[in-house]
Amino acid sequence: MSPKTSKANQSQGLLLFKLNQTQLFALGTLKIRELVPFTPLTKIPHSHSAILGAATIRGMTIPVIDMAAAIGYKPVSESERKDCYIIITDCQRMVIGFLVRAIDKIIECNWRNIEAPSGNLGRDAFLTGVTRFDDKLVQLLDVELLLSKIFPDDPINNRAILTDVQREKLTPLRILLVDDSKVARKQLSDALDSINIAYQVTADGRDALQMMQQAAAERKPIDLLVSDIEMPGLDGYELAFEVKNNPEIEHAYIILHTSLSSEISVSQAKQVGANEALTKFDAKELIEAMLRGAQALQPA
């Protein structure tokens, strides 16, 4: 019997752009709605210093962030703005514009060719991965970390309330959390810590697959897998497919957990065998999905 081929497309578009004269940065095109030339902005009172103002685009008022300033580079001067572009993104339930100095191009990139950033970069390195294109280094930006600095999360969103009966359903389960974003890992961990539920966590899809295989070999298989979609090395779609294509670990209930606000991501999640796809981040929705997983895992 020939091996199954994943229905997930490992190749994904990356938009390359510049925040200074030399370095190339990237965002996945699934996060991007459109690109627009700089447009006049209306000041937003008492807003973060990196928020330049709001633009009205297609009838929608959208905050616009100087991305260079937000990650610690030289801010875009007023005289430069006329030559800049705004990247309109749909991420983490927010439509946000990012002002960048130049748009380079859109390329196709295989997630397996994206490497995790060096661990020496520090806590506030706004990167989730690095790759190369035409012998140039391309740095993938961690939009979740950037947005968390500008729009601090309301702690109440990281908390869920469980009844004793619900807690008893989750407590016996072996749970694995996977996300390359430091912010997302903390949000997931805080959500489970707040209800005193044990879990394992990793930043890498390949590591997650190995951990699941090892756990199965030790007769302690993972029951609930909560994974990001966009990750270097092995993305969430491919991880879900690999899990469902392995009889030793296929019983796991898979929740893909993504900053992408897209019907496409939900549709692909189902194709590769994931049970659910959620948009980050709402602790209550996550816990409800995990409870559905607990119910589905109960013996018939």
Over the stretch 34-54, which tens digit does the pLDDT of each residue have? Answer: 999 999 999 999 889 999 999
Q: What are the strands, taking DSSP E only, across the chain?
A: 11-18, 24-28, 32-37, 51-57, 60-66, 85-91, 94-100, 102-110, 127-133, 136-141, 175-178, 200-202, 224-227, 253-258, 276-279
**Higher confidence at residue 70 or residue 147?**
70
Q: What is the pLDDT of residues 243-274, one digit of tens each?
A: 999 999 999 999 998 776 555 566 778 888 89
Lowest pLDDT segment from 152-161, 177-186, 202-211:
152-161
pLDDT confidence bin for 202, thresholds 50/70/90: very high
Whether the model clears a pTM of 0.75, i.e. scores above it, the answer is no
Sheet of 60-66, strand order: 32-37, 85-91, 94-100, 60-66, 51-57
Whether 155 and 127 have beta carbons less than 8 Å apart is answered as: no
pLDDT confidence bin for 154, thresholds 50/70/90: low
Which residue's entry shows tokens 């497309």? 9
pLDDT confidence bin for 299, thresholds 50/70/90: confident
Q: How far apart are CA 244 and CA 168, in angstroms?
A: 26
As a whole number, the mean pLDDT across the chain is: 86
Q: What is the pLDDT of residues 97-135, one digit of tens each?
A: 999 999 999 998 877 788 877 765 555 578 888 899 998
Domains of the chain with CATH codes: 11-149 (2.40.50.180), 164-297 (3.40.50.2300)
- Name the burial class of residue 170, with classes exposed (0-12), middle (13-18) and buried (19+) by CB atoms within 10 angstroms of its CB: buried
Residue % of the chain over a pLDDT of 70: 89
DSSP string, 40-62: --B--TT--TTEEEEEEETTEEE
CA-based nearest residue to 256, from 284, 232, 228? 228
